[in-house]
Structure 1
Amino acid sequence: MSALHLITDGPVAELRLDNPAKLNAFTTDMLAAIEPHCAAIEKDPAIRAVVISAEDAKAFCAGADIIAWSELGPWDFARHWVREGHRLFDRVARLSKPTVAAMGGHAFGGGLEFAATADIRVMAPSATLALPEASVGIVPGWSGTQRLIRLLGEPVVKEMALFGRRISAERAHALGFAAELADDPRARAFELAEALVGKSPCAIEVAKYMIHAAAGEDRSAMVEALGAGMIGQTADRTEGVAAFREKRKPEFPGNQ
């Protein structure tokens, strides 16, 4: 059974890391669970928001399990571990539902990259961020040098990835990476997520697409999704589908 659980009980779902013996480090099974969990979230209209959390109060996620990747050859490490992990993290970042990460402890390497996939983050005052990959002879591989540049800025990411500096929760908040600091990040994350339940899910989804397009987060897909949503509401689309089914030439009404 994977140590990444999806709990659905009401309009706010919870995606929970549960590998405390290894400070919630990502294993192969945990990575593999991301895709089906995301698919379940997208297919359930009752889910209005998602909280991303972790069981261990000391660590949100210590990164990737070194034992899981250290025995891989160079090709498998690059193609399966890094490339597939990057794709799966992108899948979380591009969920149509809003996401809030509750960071009760430290987020290092892949754990920080996972937290970066959320729309907003709540951190415990004692939590820290780090990109320690260089200390074990590798580089960030799950968007640490890509998405984090947009969220923290190039100079800060260089501090972390090149010089090994940790970023405190206070500084993360000042930089805008953390929306809030809270002694109980999970409880506060649920409060923020539950506040969305009374808002228009369609408006929130479209707003998220627009912001992602502006930020360069899968811009081409976001633009096409917005275009498809617009055209899907037109009489032209209704007429085109009807004409196809009736095997006749369509008579598009245009802007009516």
Structure 2
Amino acid sequence: MSNVILSVTGPTAELRLDNPDKMNAFTAGMVEQLGQHLEEIERRTDVSCVLVTATGERAFCTGADILAWGALSPSEFARHWVRDGHRVFDRLARLSKPTIAVLNGHAFGGGLELAAACDVRVMAPHATLALPETGVGIVPGWSGTQRLARLVPEPVLKEMALFGRRIGAERALQVGLVAEVAEDVRAVALKMAERAGRLSPRAVEITKSMIHAAQGEDRGAMVEAIGAAAIAATEDRAEGVSAFAEKRKPKFPGT
């Protein structure tokens, strides 16, 4: 039974964490399911925007289930749990379609890191954000000290990671981590998704790549993807492919 549910309505895809008994905490299976859904979404041409949501109102996601990783050996923890999470969260961050984290409740640890991997975040007034890892003897492992450092001022990140302080919705809005605070965050996110659906999909995709390249988010791949898209539309590329297929020397027109 899946604890990460993918649904598509019109041009909007929704990824919903569904582990409410544990406040939507991640298990290894959920990390794997999220990765599989992201691969499917990337290939769907009918999806223009992705919402990341969660079941219930108390918690968006309280991070990784301690019982899921607590019994792992040091090598298993580092090689599999941390790396698998990083791989999937990076996949979310680099998705070609715009993404919105719908913070209907508390986002702690891996839950906050999941939200940080999305393009924008909307947050309910009662929700809070935290990086509680040092309180259980570990460190943020799914980009909490890396991607979040690009999203919030350093003193705010240190306040959360080094002193265990929670950040409320208004503070998160003040520092620019969330785009909007609202009682009905899903309705706000759906309106944003609707606007995204009226824009040029290719222009949005390339613009997102350009912004990520400026931020250093997989810069090399982004630059090469933009270059590949530009060259793909040229007559030189068409001539090169034709010449290869016909086993002759190409005559590039330079256009």
Band the TM-score falls in, shorter-chain normalisation: over 0.9
C-alpha distance in 1 between matches for 2:115 and 2:123? 10
Q: Which residue of 2 aligns with 1:188?
A: 188
SS in structure 2 at match of 1:50: strand
Unmatched segments (≥5 aa) in structure 1: none
SS in structure 2 at match of 1:203: helix
CA deviation vs aligned residue, 1:8-59 (integer Å, no higher than 9, x gap): 1210000001100000000111000122101110111001100110112010
| CA shift for structure 1 position 2 | 2.3
Q: Which residue of 1 aligns with 2:71?
A: 71
- Normalised to the residue count of structure 1, the TM-score between the two structures is 0.98
What amino acid is aligned across from residue 165 of structure 1 in structure 2?
R
Q: Which residue of 2 aligns with 1:15?
A: 15
| CA shift for structure 1 position 131 | 0.2
Unmatched segments (≥5 aa) in structure 2: none
SS in structure 1 at match of 2:80: helix
Q: Which residue of 2 aligns with 1:199?
A: 199
SS in structure 1 at match of 2:197: coil
What amino acid is aligned across from residue 39 of structure 1 in structure 2?
E
Instruction: Report whether the alignment pairs 1:130 with 2:134.
Output: no
C-alpha distance in 1 between matches for 2:71 and 2:241? 53
C-alpha distance in 1 between matches for 2:150 and 2:90? 14
Q: Which residue of 2 aligns with 1:25?
A: 25
Equivalent residue runs for 1:46-85 within 5 Å? 46-85=46-85
Q: Which residue of 2 aligns with 1:88?
A: 88
Equivalent residue runs for 1:138-153 within 5 Å? 138-153=138-153
- Normalised to the residue count of structure 2, the TM-score between the two structures is 0.99
Q: Which residue of 1 aligns with 2:239?
A: 239
What amino acid is aligned across from residue 6 of structure 1 in structure 2?
L
Q: Which residue of 2 aligns with 1:157?
A: 157
C-alpha distance in 2 between matches for 1:157 and 1:84? 24
Instruction: Report whether the alignment pairs 1:229 with 2:229.
Output: yes
SS in structure 2 at match of 1:71: coil
C-alpha distance in 2 between matches for 1:75 and 1:153? 33
What amino acid is aligned across from residue 155 of structure 2 in structure 1?
P
Q: Which residue of 1 aligns with 2:106?
A: 106
Q: Which residue of 2 aligns with 1:118?
A: 118
What amino acid is aligned across from residue 179 of structure 1 in structure 2?
A
C-alpha distance in 2 between matches for 1:191 and 1:20? 26
Q: How many equivalent pairs are there?
A: 255
CA deviation vs aligned residue, 1:111-154 (integer Å, no higher than 9, x gap): 00000111111000111110000110000000000000000122
C-alpha distance in 2 between matches for 1:147 and 1:117? 7
| Identity within the alignment, % | 63
C-alpha distance in 2 between matches for 1:11 and 1:215? 28
C-alpha distance in 2 between matches for 1:163 and 1:203? 42
What amino acid is aligned across from residue 163 of structure 2 in structure 1?
F
